[in-house]
Amino acid sequence: MEQLAGKTAVITGAASGIGLAMARRFGAEGMNLVVADIEPAPLAEAVQALEAKGYPVESFDIDVRELAQIQALAAAANERFGNVHLLCNNAGVGAGGAVAGVDDMERWRWTIDINLWGVIYGCKTFLPAMIEHGEGAHIVNTASMAGHYASAFMGAYNVSKFGVVALSETMSREM
């Protein structure tokens, strides 16, 4: 994809940090923006800032752990702007703790559901249409160094980010 102007980007975790930086950059390149986050107030502030720059933007409060919400996001993005050309699976959380004696399995589930399943759901939902429209498309899955090098006391986070890297590398080889 050499020309970004007029194309559509969907970004999860877009209310702040890397996701918001992506939205700003893609907006500056002339892309239509579909921004999503689980935090409605920061997302509304981000949208206001993006709209103030004149960027075309649609926002959605979603929980990436819910496949149906990702599917609704894809349908709404397509309805508003047409084909999606760039998907940034960026929503994520950090969680620490030692692996030995893990007693908070819900925290592990929460971390893996957001960081890994959210990415899987995004890819599963958007990829078939991106292939079908044939206009050129990219998927960016945000990981971290924890996807390559495990740190102590970050078990669930490391597992989730290694999974994102493995999924991304697998998709790269399949495409």
What CATH number is attached to the domain comprising 52?
Answer: 3.40.50.720
Residue 2 in any domain: the answer is: no
Distance CA 51, CA 58 (A): 10
Length reported for the chain = 175
Residue 44 falls within a domain, yes or no?
yes
Residues with a known catalytic role: 157
Q: Is residue 144 pLDDT above 90, yes or no?
A: no
Say if 1 falls within a structural domain. no
144: enclosing H helix or E strand: none
Per-residue pLDDT band at 124 (split at 50, 70, 90): very high
Helix (H) / strand (E) containing 37:
strand 32-37
If one counts every other C-beta atom within 10 angstroms of the C-beta of residue 134, the result is 8
Q: What is the pTM of this model?
A: 0.94
- Most confident segment among 16-20, 106-110, 140-144, 145-149: 16-20
| Domain that residue 102 falls in | 8-174
Look at residue 159 in the predicted model and tell me its pLDDT: 92
Q: Name the pLDDT band for 117 (thresholds 50, 70, 90).
A: very high
pLDDT value of position 146: 67
Distance from first CA to last CA of the chain, Å, rounded?
15
> Does residue 26 sit within a domain?
yes
**Please, what is the Cα angle at 61 between 57 and 108, to 5 degrees?**
130
pLDDT of 147 reads: 66
Residue 73: inside a domain: yes
What is the share, in percent, of the chain residues with pLDDT greater than 70? 95
Task: Report the pLDDT value the prediction gives residue 148, as an integer from 0 to 100.
Answer: 72
Q: Examine residue 127 and state whether it is found in any structural domain, yes or no.
A: yes
Give the model's pLDDT for residue 1: 62
Choice between 100 and 79, residue whose per-residue pLDDT is larger: 79
* Token pair for 22: 């992506």
Number of structural domains in the chain = 1
pLDDT at 155 over 90: no
Within a domain: 153: yes
Q: Which residues sit opposite 58 in a β-bridge?
A: 34
- The confidence score (pLDDT) of residue 102 equals 64
Whether 107 shows a pLDDT value over 90: the answer reads no
Establish if 3 belongs to a structural domain. Answer: no
